[in-house]
Amino acid sequence: MTIWDDLSRHAKATADRPILQLFDEHPDRARDFSAEACGFLFDYSKTAIDAPARALLLALAEAAGVAARREAMFSGALINETEGRAVLHTALRNLDRPVQVNGQDVTPALRATHARMARFATDVRQGRFAGQGGAITDVVNIGIGGSDLGPAMAVQALAPYHDGPRCHFVSNVDGAHVHDTLKGLNPETTLVIVASKTFTTVETMTNADAVRRWMGGRVANPAAQFAALSSATDRTAAYGIDPARVFGFDDWVGGRYSVWGPIGLSLMIAIGPAAFDRFLAGAAVMDAHFCDAPPAQNLPVLLALVGIWHNQICGHATRAVLPYDQRLARLPAYLQQLEMESNGKRVAMDGSDLAHHSGPVVWGEPGTNGQHAFYQLIHQGTRVVPCEFLIAATGHEPDLAHQHSLLIANCLAQSEALMRGRSLDEARALMAARSLTGADLERQARHRVFPGSRPSTTLLYPRLTPEVLGGILALYEHRVFVEGVILGLNSFDQWGVELGKELALTLAPVLAGTSAGAGKDASTLHLAARIRALAQG
Ligand code: F6P
């Protein structure tokens, strides 16, 4: 009998027990099933996890060797085994702690790059680096995946700290994206940042070419207004970008973990190097907590265990991330890459089939908007969707404090409603109060029943500052790490995105009519033929 079996048996045996009953049985549950650290309060009391389940989950983490694996990651061991790489994004936010990779301390180079970034960002912000038409007014970051989602999300999240040029993000190969972004921008005062670790990503390079053409119409030497965030210095040089404006990072920083280094340059320009360092510091505090706190109080470990309980043990295939914080509107998209590219794997580290389901489908929208869209299904649908609420105690708008109170009230009301539900008797009483009787009352009442016992967690923080944002992202990164270790997979490769990229390359000539598409399936060829016909009018 394994711990997994024990957990499954326990989940089945307690499946019909209302979550509310746990509070009756354990008056101190709210406190006991919460953890506080680094300025965050994580409340998982509104889940079905009870003391025996928690003990088993903690035993699972211990048996999986989370502590040893964590130590291996932080010390620079090659834990990304399928690519033979270390995993050291944590080094980007803790520049004073020496870390050896293949026998060499990597931190002096990290410090030097960080200092160069800070100098360049300051030059841009203070007009010492200018465009042909004067001081930079706009920055366009061209990148995709990890070279876009992190900075795009963080720039929006930290809007109250913006005192630099406006930042824009172009990712999609759909020409509409670059077209709409450039509309209204002045090429003579725009800085273009090409963010691509490999400097070969088709979407990014195609968009970079488009922006270079747009700029070339008005600017004598567009390359002088380009910077690159890339390790491929030969390719950035071939593109004509001055090495002084190229900021590289090593292969042990995965794309989805890269916002802490050069990929964060647009954020640094927007909020300034000092605020950017506060963002790094918040993440470093979470790193230290992850390394030092005992598992039962360790926020990333607890988030991961709640995730494993809901997905692999209870079988809930998705989880909704619901920030009651409009500025975190892009957090769900960011977490989709972080979680699904990391733990969406069907093979274990040793090449065998994964023994359990891979990580969950992650989705979400900010509250309260989501309440008027998909919460209906979360409350009354036939499937259970575990929800993760995030909420700040205070906002950044003192004159709109009453709106923040309303926001908080809505957030708490949703988690309460999900847990409490509404029984048939309560629904009948409601209908009776509206003077309904007989079959009419019965039918109307049934539509107003909420099953309740729908699990949720709440992450509470004081305010969305740079430190808090850094802490939230590091918390989720480590959560994904712990879930990956427990599942026994490699969270740091992404072979699953390769096949589609390769096939897209072989389809381009089919769409252009220069290849018949030998070996392609009939459906794909049929669609391609129709598209060509429609495009020719
Ligand atoms: O989507 C796959 C991926 O490799 C991501 O991991 C990465 O963030 C993205 O593509 C962009 O890659 P690059 O920075 O090399 O352009």
pLDDT in tens, 77-89: 999 999 999 999 9
Considering the domain boundaries, does residue 323 fall inside one? yes
Percent of the chain past pLDDT 70, that is, above it, reads 100
Considering the domain boundaries, does residue 231 fall inside one? yes
For the domain that residue 525 is a member of, what is the CATH number?
A: 1.10.1390
Task: Check whether residue 487 and residue 507 sit in a common domain.
Answer: no
Q: How many A from CA of 83 to the centre of ligand 1?
A: 15
Considering the domain boundaries, does residue 74 fall inside one? no
Closest Cα to atom 4 of ligand 1? 255
pLDDT above 90 for 518: yes
Task: Check whether residue 111 and residue 241 sit in a common domain.
Answer: yes
Considering the domain boundaries, does residue 351 fall inside one? yes
Burial class (CB in 10 A: 0-12, 13-18, 19+), 515: middle
Q: Is 10 in the pocket of ligand 1 (CB under 6 A)?
A: no
Q: Which of 12, 179, 357, 372 is catalytic?
A: 372
Task: Check whether residue 232 and residue 304 sit in a common domain.
Answer: no
Between CA 194 and CA 140 the distance in angstroms is 8
pLDDT in tens, 369-420: 999 999 999 999 999 999 999 999 999 999 999 999 999 999 999 999 999 9
Q: Candidates 89, 144, 335: which one to mutate for ligand 1, based on the most atoms within 8 Å of Cβ?
A: 144
pLDDT in tens, 23-48: 999 999 999 999 999 999 999 999 99
Task: Check whether residue 156 and residue 298 sit in a common domain.
Answer: no
- Angle at CA of residue 213, ends 208 and 219, nearest 5°: 110
pLDDT recorded at residue 537? 82
Between CA 415 and CA 380 the distance in angstroms is 14
Q: How many A from CA of 198 to the centre of ligand 1?
A: 8
Task: Check whether residue 503 and residue 476 sit in a common domain.
Answer: no
Q: How many A from CA of 146 to the centre of ligand 1?
A: 6
Number of domains within the chain: 3
Exposure string of 413-449, with b = 16+ CB inside 10 Å and e = fewer, is ebbebbbbbbeeeebbeebeeeebeeeebeeebeeeb
Closest Cα to atom 16 of ligand 1? 196
424's tokens: 């048939």
Q: Which atom of ligand 1 is nearest to the CA of 149?
A: 8
Exposure string of 243-267, with b = 16+ CB inside 10 Å and e = fewer, is eebbbbbbebbbbbbbbbbbbbbbb
- Angle at CA of residue 484, ends 479 and 486, nearest 5°: 100
> Which residue among 278, 308, 324 closes a domain?
278
Task: Check whether residue 335 and residue 242 sit in a common domain.
Answer: no
pLDDT above 90 for 61: yes
> Which residue among 243, 278, 313 closes a domain?
278
Between CA 439 and CA 301 the distance in angstroms is 51
Q: Which residue has the tokens 């205070």?
A: 394
Q: Candidates 247, 494, 501: which one to mutate for ligand 1, based on the most atoms within 8 Å of Cβ?
A: 494
The domain of 489 spans 3-64+293-420+455-493
β partners of residue 142: 170, 194
Considering the domain boundaries, does residue 428 fall inside one? no
Considering the domain boundaries, does residue 198 fall inside one? yes
Task: Check whether residue 204 and residue 167 sit in a common domain.
Answer: yes
> Which residue among 278, 304, 334 closes a domain?
278
Note every long-range contact of 20-26, with CB atoms under 8 Å and residues 24 or more positions apart, other chains counting. 20/419, 20/420, 20/452, 20/453, 22/48, 22/50, 26/50, 26/51
Considering the domain boundaries, does residue 425 fall inside one? no
For the domain that residue 256 is a member of, what is the CATH number?
A: 3.40.50.10490
372 included as an active-site residue: yes
What pTM was estimated for this model as a whole? Answer: 0.97
Task: Check whether residue 53 and residue 130 sit in a common domain.
Answer: no
Task: Check whether residue 412 and residue 475 sit in a common domain.
Answer: yes
Q: Is 190 in the pocket of ligand 1 (CB under 6 A)?
A: no
Task: Check whether residue 316 and residue 251 sit in a common domain.
Answer: no
Average pLDDT for 102-122: 96
pLDDT above 90 for 514: yes
Task: Check whether residue 221 and residue 369 sit in a common domain.
Answer: no
Considering the domain boundaries, does residue 283 fall inside one? no
Task: Check whether residue 118 and residue 260 sit in a common domain.
Answer: yes
